[in-house]
Amino acid sequence: MDDETRKELKAWLEFYEELGIEGFYRREPGTVGTPPSLEAARLAQPAATPPPKQAPSPERITGMAASAPPKPPTPPKPVAPPTPPPVVIRPPAPSFNLFEAAPARRSGPETLEQIRQDLGDCRRCKLAPTRKTIVYGEGNPHAELVFIGEGPGADEDEQGLPFVGRAGKLLNRMMQTVGLKREDVYICNIVKCRPPGNRTPEKDEVDSCSPFLYRQIEAIKPRLICCLGAPAVRTVLGIKEGITKIRGQFYNFGAAKALATVHPAYVLRNPREEKILREDFEKICDFLKSS
Ligand code: URA
């Protein structure tokens, strides 16, 4: 079995074990289920195809181990925002070798503090040596709305808090415009350490860090997730289309909804685009007011 296959298989096993499904056995190597990135896309489905509310059936697990992998998902389509039940979280991306480290066992819902403790003085990826501070996330642990950005910049790295620089100021202003308070929402990023020179986080960095993000979302159980910019959309929703094409639309993220919009830093560089950010924030506000 090659490394990639092992990683995919491990991600599946962790996912099922977190759902309480255990007792797997190994058959012929070389066939595994949908990789986490495809799973993310599967969870980002239109409302017409209801998202899974529970663990997939044992038959599917056996099928996964024994033969053909599940079909790739239909690309997600935007949906109208209905009333959301509990959040279904995608399986975490692999961060260690299945045959070298046992997955962490957790029973019951975790708190944000527990997840932070588990993160510790994280050295799981190559961002660790150059970061100053881990920027875990900030806000209401029971927020209805979670903002997900790309990664800390210089100001965030300095202060250990997300969105406190120029982009953060714009985010604050947008929230204010539609009557949202920063302390009522939760703000975090797809990676918790500053990428050198503010470059886009790389896949291995996102793979190491995003399991913590998903655990945070699971702990918070928001009604709405707002992905700020293309890297957040790619990571959380598995959508690779251009942000300007898919922004302002609601997607299913498990039982929660997710909306993609442009990153505030993009608006700082293109001030005429502020109106689209404002438009999307009005949608967020309308969604939160509904039901
Ligand atoms: N940009 C981001 O994506 N995240 C931050 O926390 C700050 C700026």
Separation of CA 77 and ligand 1 centre (Å): 27
Query: What would the pLDDT profile of 126-185 be if each residue is shown by its tens digit?
Result: 999 999 999 999 999 999 999 999 999 999 999 999 999 999 999 999 999 999 999 999
Look at residue 92 and tell me whether its pLDDT is greater than 80. no
In the structure, what pLDDT confidence band is assigned to residue 17 with cuts at 50, 70 and 90?
A: low
Is residue 251 in some structural domain?
A: yes
189, 151 contact by CB (below 8 A)? yes
Instruction: Give the CATH number for residue 171.
Output: 3.40.470.10
Look at residue 21 and tell me whether its pLDDT is greater than 70. no
Question: Residue 147: beta bridge partners?
Answer: 187, 226
Is residue 246 in some structural domain?
A: yes
Is residue 140 in some structural domain?
A: yes
Which residues touch 50 (CB under 8 Å, ≥6 apart)? none
Ligand 1 pocket check for 149: Cβ under 6 Å: yes
Ligand 1 pocket check for 232: Cβ under 6 Å: no
Ligand 1 pocket check for 195: Cβ under 6 Å: no
Q: Please state whether the predicted TM-score (pTM) of the whole model is above 0.75.
A: no
Is residue 76 in some structural domain?
A: no
Provide the number of structural domains found in the chain: 1
Range of the domain at 109: 81-289
CA dist 161 and 58 (Å) reads 42
Pair of tokens at residue 267: 């608006």
Ligand 1 pocket check for 163: Cβ under 6 Å: yes
- Beta strands of the chain (E only): which ranges? 138-139, 145-149, 186-189, 224-228, 250-253, 256-261
Is residue 18 in some structural domain?
A: no
Entry field: residues in the chain = 291
Ligand 1 pocket check for 167: Cβ under 6 Å: yes
